[in-house]
Amino acid sequence: MSRLYQVSFNKQHGGYNRRYRHTSKELGCEMVFTVYFPPVANASKVPVVFYLSGLTCNDENFITKAGAQKYASELGVALIAPDTSPRGLGIDGESQSWDFGVGAGFYVNATEEKWKNWRMYDYISKELPSLLQEDTEFQDKLDMTRVSIMGHSMGGHGALVIALRNSSAFKSISAFSPICNPSRVPWGIKAFTGYLGEDQESWKQYDASELLRSLQGASLPLLVDVGSADSFLVGSVNQLRPEALEEAAKAIAYPLELRIQEGYDHSYYFISTFIEDHLRFHAKHLFAAALGRSSHRLLVGREGGEEREGKGGGNAEKEERRGGGEKRKSKGGGRGSNIGSNNESDNESDNENDNESDSGGHVKDIIYASVL
């Protein structure tokens, strides 16, 4: 196992953000990642939510901008934020483009020789979880049998693909503005051609919409939020294609909840507005898994409203979540309206649009969970 170094730490909401550095065998370079430990991790193991970031980002974007720690502290879940690619390898052209190379690993295992170190799929699905499970720094704090995963944009794509291909390792999936059908959009075509070569059949293993069409394995609860004003959805090209994911989910009655949030864009203003809802969604399923093994009680209810108690390993009664926008559940019902366009040119960055400010529409009716 590679040696682990703590780079920095900051206290927040009673817990700690701790940033670590280690040498990755999969990637052949040093990598950093950040863990938020909620206060309860000092006394007992806590479940884990991975967050995969988008193009141009590293592990710090989510940690510093999403505001997730407040809710992770309350719920008693740890947050794991990895980097988005290998760094410092000196590969010719690795930093020439914001949507390929450094900061743009696309969560694949590259097969093209030049990019052989770009193995973010195995790093996220195998190497990093093994480190978190085996290193003494984490053994008494993180419960790696209760893990969920989420992500944004390219990271939403990564979360979908990794969880769909490794369903036994996760309890739930969620995504903000994911690239749902990368083999059909310019971002994905560029990345897949560069990392995987011209064989488009090999691309399908990293395309969530294609994976759903041939899914074998458990159906994990899946929540997806997309902003109706996202420039990568309604701009000159639809880079996200959530309609493809919705269509694939409906074909097999997969439990997808796709929500179009009116007026929101692609930025961390959007993410910070709905991060509470996503973490409570994951906590519900993470703690339900624990209840199957214990006599603890699960509280389910509305914010500011009446609480109801569920016991044992059964499913708690569901509340409707409203995000201020259109909600579509893909469980084999009628088809929702198409969204976005299929034009093919865009040259904007996937990083946060910090000059835009969001307002209104915060979730009030949500599901929450806690272990008593």
Catalytic residues: 153, 230, 266
**Lookup result for tokens 């709905």:** 274
Structure tokens at 212: 């759903």
Q: Closest Cα to residue 252, out of 336, 331, 338?
A: 331
Q: What Å distances lie between residue 188 and 76, 111, 153, 212, 362, CA to CA?
A: 35, 15, 11, 17, 31
* Residue 19, strand partner residues: 8, 34
Contact 35, 41 (CB under 8 A): no
- Is residue 302 classed exposed, middle or buried when 0-12, 13-18 and 19+ CB atoms within 10 A define those classes? middle
Give the separation between CA 297 and CA 372, rounded to whole angstroms. Answer: 6
Structure tokens at 334: 């009628």
Give the separation between CA 46 and CA 35, rounded to whole angstroms. Answer: 12
Structure tokens at 185: 């959009």
- Is residue 193 classed exposed, middle or buried when 0-12, 13-18 and 19+ CB atoms within 10 A define those classes? middle
| Helical ranges in 20-165 per DSSP H | 60-65, 69-75, 120-122, 128-134, 154-165
H or E stretch at 328: strand 326-330
Residue 321 one-letter amino acid: R
Instruction: Provide the 3-class DSSP secondary structure of residue 54.
Output: coil
- Provide Rg for the chain, Cα atoms: 19
73-95 burial code (b ≥16 CB/10 A, e <16): bbbbbbbbbbbbbbbeeeeeebe
